[in-house]
Amino acid sequence: MSGSILYIDSDRFEQEVLKSDKPAILYFYSEDCPPCEVLAPIYEKMAEKYGDRIKFVKIMRQANRDLAKSLGVTGSPTLLFFRNGLEVGKRLSGFLSKPQVRTAIEGVLGDVLPPPELKKENCDVIILGGGAAGLSAAIYAARAKLNTILLEEGVPGGQAASTYHIANYPGTPGVISGTELIANMRKQAESFGARVEDLREIFEVKLQGPEKYVRTEDEEYYGKAIIIATGGKPKPLPAEGAEEFTGRGVHYCATCDGPMYQNRKVVVIGGGNSAVEEAVFLTRYASHVTIIHQFDHFQATKTAQEEAFKNDKIDIIWDSEVRKVHGEEHSLTGVTIENIKTGEIREIPTEGAFVYIGTQPRTEIFKGQVQIDDNGYIVASEDTKTNVEGVFAAGDVRTKPIRQVVTAAADGAAAGIMAERYITSQVKRIPVQVR
């Protein structure tokens, strides 16, 4: 626990938050809450950085339900910001990233801290991304005795870590949780000497030239080769009100946010494997799940479809798209859908909407430096080489027909091996000086 974080209960709320002599951030958390586990180290990190300018407070939601209800807090984690006794800024909830939390804090403070003096770090291989591809690359690169540093903006895991169960990963006992699989990968990478540095926001990357460069908030990294394994992120729901209610009823991770919806009705939007599998997972919590899909058939595997069809807590609305998300100030009450064949418009009451309509690659920072296709994916072949020497792309971030955890790990292995070969070839090119 950080000494910069104050733990309170409801009877101290007024004194510690409303009457605080400086702005305060109040974090409602719960036990057995996956998104709370992800947010905890981020909150610690932010408390270390901003603790002298904003008060960091935590309160358990289950033990302080009346206060939570009075503030319109219905799920965990939820962050609220206060100044002079009033709530300010935009409240955050659900599965949160470090950039989201940092941006919100800096918005309340009105400015940012002076930039720290940057430390410099030299290595052989820089890996960007801590999912299955990045960790697999770290295993192979570190085992080849390369000085390997992996940088992850959040907590290592990527999309795999938010998958409740993975039933088709070779060598596992039938079913394994994404969290456990990623933990095993990280432990293995570190056992070979790889440094895995999480909660590292990437602000600048330079890919051209023999020396690759990455800048985070407090360090500059220089490497002989770089492996891009930044993965993908969910495509946002293209409906009115969706952005406004993100984290307050609209979610992109059932494993992270599903526990908030115990005995409540939710909808799942999409028809691929993720949508159908997570709909089944959500029936562990929700009283009823409605799948809304734009076609008259699923794209999911037959096994996933069979599980959904036989689950009496699931029903399906075909040929329809969500046009609007609406609700009260802090909670979702329903979605408006349109049947794309008949044009019929109707409202579906719901307290939560989980969106699975595809992913988009995290490649914004690399544009103009490496070849990227029209869909935003880095162009790289099976050997993971890009059009820039010493730059490799692995996993969901690169052009490829199949995106699974096992194919991401395979990409990572290839990238680690190719990086080692590239570095070795560069060393051989250096002429030996005869004295």
The CATH number of the domain holding residue 47 is: 3.40.30.10
My answer on whether 186 and 288 are in the same domain is no
What average pLDDT does the segment 69-80 reach?
A: 86
In a shared domain, residues 335 and 281: yes
**What CATH number has the domain bearing residue 267?**
3.50.50.60
3-class state of residue 93 by DSSP:
strand
Q: Is 256 assigned a catalytic role?
A: yes
Respond yes or no: is residue 36 known to be catalytic.
no
Q: What is the DSSP string of 194-263?
A: -EEE-S----EEE-SSSSEEEE-SSEEEEEEEEEE---EEEPPP-SBTTTTTBTTTEES-HHHHGGGGTT
> Which bin fits 268, alpha (ψ -120 to 50), beta or left (φ > 0)?
beta
Structure token digits, residue 328? 């009260």
- pLDDT at 152 exceeding the cut of 90: yes
Asked if 281 contacts 366 with a C-beta cutoff of 8 angstroms, the reply is no
As a whole-number percent, the residues of the chain with pLDDT over 90 amount to 66
Residue 80 belongs to what domain range?
5-109
Q: Give the C-alpha separation, 225 to 203, whole Å.
A: 18
Neighbours of 383 (CB within 10 A): 12
Chain Cα centroid distance, residue 125: 23
Domain boundary among 91, 109, 127: 109
Q: For residue 1, what pLDDT is reported?
A: 44
Active site residue 253: yes
Number of structural domains the chain divides into? 3
Residues 6+ apart with CB under 8 A from 37: none
**H or E element that contains 60:** strand 55-60
Q: Is the pLDDT of residue 434 over 90?
A: no
Give me 316's structure tokens. Answer: 């399906």
Domain final residue, candidates 78, 109, 140: 109
CB 200 within 8 A of CB 153: yes
The residues, ordered by sequence, that sit 6+ positions from 260 with a Cβ below 8 Å of its Cβ are: 74, 75, 76, 94, 285, 352
Give the pLDDT of residue 164.
59
Instruction: List the catalytic residue out of 123, 124, 198, 257.
Output: 257
Q: Read off the tokens for 78.
A: 């939820």
Encode pLDDT of 164-189 as tens digits: 567 777 888 777 777 788 889 999 99
Q: Residue 162 gets which letter from DSSP?
A: T
Q: What is the average pLDDT score of the chain?
A: 90
Asked if residue 71 and residue 124 are part of one domain, the reply reads no
pLDDT value of position 165? 65
pLDDT at 2 (0 to 100): 47
**Does 244 fall in a domain?**
no
Residue 278 domain-assigned?
yes
Q: Which member of 33, 36, 123, 256 is catalytic? A: 256
178, 83: one domain: no
Residues 255 and 351 in one domain: yes
Set 36, 123, 253, 411: catalytic member: 253
DSSP letter (8 states) at residue 114? P
Q: Is 75 part of a structural domain of the chain? A: yes
Of 241, 285, 276, nearest to 75 (Cα)? 285
Examine residue 243 and state whether it is found in any structural domain, yes or no.
no
Mean pLDDT of 386-398: 96
Asked whether residue 245 is domain-assigned, the answer is no
Q: Are 244 and 335 in contact (CB under 8 A)?
A: no
User: 131: exposed, middle or buried (C-beta count within 10 Å: 0-12, 13-18, 19+)?
Assistant: buried
For residues 139 and 209, state if they share a domain. Answer: yes
- 172 and 211, same domain (yes or no): yes
